[in-house]
Amino acid sequence: MKFELTTLEHTKNPEIKWVLSELEKVKEQAVVAGDEERANNCWRESEALQLTLIYIEALHKIKRREYREAWYDLERCEIKCQFVLRNSSEEFCLNKNIYFISHQVSNLQSLYPYCVFSSPGMVVGYYSCGICDHKIRPRSRCSHVKGKIYNGKLCVHVAHDIELKEISIVSKPAQKYSVVHNDETLDFSVLEHLMAILEEAFEEWDVIRTTRKFPIDMFSRVELDSDCPCKGGIKFGQCCSKKAEVEIPHLDFVFRRDIPNLPGVRFPY
């Protein structure tokens, strides 16, 4: 069965739910019949379809300024991409836009202003294999490899006897959902700027990180004891405040199509 899946409207197609449920049924039948390849193919197709749905929804959540909800979806996409990429051929990943989604998820995440996260530290008594339930010890393993699929099921290690030790505040979390910011206090205007131009989820775009110089007069609202806009790591008063121009980080968005009525350069200060 073929159907188009590029817009939010397409994600409402009832056939998608039916296809996902059929894939699950065929996978179960393949497992019973001992047809591992067929079961794994069902897993791939299902994951790729779910990934596309989540990615389209995430993009539209950003458009609707539901930034936190979109952030959670982007993390789900990131995790799904990681496992689909690991367990699929290059051809499959190209056909299903997995490389595209993986790249754009990373781009979108990099445009968020989130920089503080909570991070639980814990002691794990032992792990067991999610496929065969084998208790994993230093000198006792099963044949399954974490992150690979077996009979249509992803091998994960399940943690047992967990003891929470501490919660740390980190800038680079392993789990990105643990944002501690209040969104109302943050500036999402870079994403807003991008979304004003981006029309479709699978439209090709990229971001180029560069710098741009602005006359010092434009920085009159920056306090001398604030961090320098050049992001050099010291205070404005000790850094660029006496220069004629200040060179600050700048993002250029590039698109494959012509953009009529380009918005002007956004100055952050």
Partner 1 sequence: MSILEKKDRFEVKEESLTRAELVRKASLSLTEIIKEKSLIILPSHGTVDEFYAGSLDTLDYLNDNDVDAEIYSTDEDYKELSLHGADIWLGTFFVSSIILPILTNLISSYIYDKLKAQKEDGISLKLIIERESGSTVSISFDGKVEKLDKVFTAIKELENEV
Positions touching partner 1 (CB under 8 A) are: 115-116, 119-127, 136-141, 146, 159, 165, 168-175, 233
- Residue with the two structure tokens 């989540």: 54
Task: Pick the closer one to partner 1 by CB: 233 or 260.
Answer: 233
Q: How near is the Cβ of 54 to partner 1 at its closest, in Å?
A: 22
How is residue 196 annotated by DSSP?
T
Task: Pick the closer one to partner 1 by CB: 2 or 137.
Answer: 137
The residue among 114, 104, 136, 135 whose CA lies nearest residue 202 is: 104
Strand partners, 162: 124
Task: Pick the closer one to partner 1 by CB: 224 or 234.
Answer: 234
Task: Pick the closer one to partner 1 by CB: 86 or 266.
Answer: 86
What is the distance between the alpha carbons of residues 62 and 74, in angstroms, rounded to a whole number? 10
Q: How near is the Cβ of 134 to partner 1 at its closest, in Å?
A: 13
What is the distance between the alpha carbons of residues 127 and 136, in angstroms, rounded to a whole number? 6
Q: How near is the Cβ of 176 to partner 1 at its closest, in Å?
A: 9
φ, ψ at 263 (rounded to 5°): -70, 155
Task: Look at the alpha carbons of 89, 95, 98, 99 in this order and tell me if their dihedral is positive or negative.
Answer: positive
Task: Pick the closer one to partner 1 by CB: 50 or 87.
Answer: 87
What is the distance between the alpha carbons of residues 81 and 70, in angstroms, rounded to a whole number? 16
Alpha-helical runs (H) found in 64-147? 67-86, 90-95, 98-110
What is the distance between the alpha carbons of residues 2 and 16, in angstroms, rounded to a whole number? 10
Q: How near is the Cβ of 8 to partner 1 at its closest, in Å?
A: 31
Task: Pick the closer one to partner 1 by CB: 152 or 173.
Answer: 173
Q: How near is the Cβ of 87 to partner 1 at its closest, in Å?
A: 16
Q: How near is the Cβ of 40 to partner 1 at its closest, in Å?
A: 23
